[in-house]
Amino acid sequence: MTPQPLKIRADVEMKCFQFDGVLHIKEAMRKAEAAGNADCPVKIKLVAPPLYVLTTQTLDKDQGIAVLTNATKICAEAIEKHK
């Protein structure tokens, strides 16, 4: 029996009230997706502004959690840079 990949999810709120805040949020989302790797690709979906969901599928739970934690930190840093 082959192991089934785990789906790991993180809910985040991203807000940027600058003039071009939407562009800053898009930039943060691209950086977060780039934080993934071949084993743990990060995907971002919009639930309802300002709520976004980051997901990954992996066989290694600890690695998946680490990748999503890193992706959320990268999002926060990218948004904070523009405040």
Domains of the chain: which residue ranges? 6-81
pLDDT in tens, 38-56: 999 999 999 999 999 999 9
Both tokens of 22, joined, read 């939407």
pLDDT of residue 34: 96
Give the residue from 79, 82, 67 showing the smallest Cα distance to 13.
Answer: 79
- The model's confidence at residue 1, banded by pLDDT at 50, 70 and 90, is confident
Mean pLDDT of the chain: 95
Angle at 57 between CA 74 and CA 66, to 5 degrees: 40
**Would you say domain 6-81 falls under CATH 1.10.3720.10?**
no
Is residue 14 over pLDDT 90?
A: yes
